[in-house]
Amino acid sequence: MKRFLYYFGWTVIIGVVIYFGVRYQVWLEEQSRMYFDMLPFVLFTAIFPILIGLLLRLPKLIIEIKQNVPWTFDWVKFVAVGLPALCILSMYILPFIPLGEGFIRIPYIIMIGGPMIQTIAGIVFGYSLLDSLKR
């Protein structure tokens, strides 16, 4: 029963974070349309899925922290899974910052997928970042 309540509590917390995050995202989208400044909206839509991925892995990480085993970092998993997801996220952000403005072209496949690919890549990156921490 204790385990059920632990995971159910995390489910409620993640649900609340998603609810308020989506409300804030809608507000940012309205502000970006009103003031023609897309950067805050684009940054939030890239960073929020990373937060969700971190929150999805956090309950298990807390359980692993309670064990007394030395920490390691699985570089192979991070490089094979996390970095490609981060590259996909950066392809969305770079055209909106001065560094990549007019310089970086977004691949056609990412344009077709729309925000769904960005969301999935963010969740995968956040989850794999914490999953690469091993005990």
Q: Which residue has the higher pLDDT, 91 or 27?
A: 27
Domain boundaries, the chain: 2-134
CA separation, residue 86 to residues 44, 58, 95, 133, 135 (Å): 15, 19, 15, 17, 24
Name the average pLDDT for the chain. 87
Q: Mean pLDDT, to the nearest integer, of 57-72?
A: 87
pLDDT bracket for residue 102 (50, 70, 90)? low
> How far apart (Å, rounded) are the C-alpha atoms in residues 45 and 47?
6
pLDDT in tens, 3-48: 899 999 999 999 999 999 999 999 999 999 999 888 888 899 999 9
Q: Is the pLDDT of residue 94 over 80?
A: no
pLDDT bracket for residue 71 (50, 70, 90)? confident
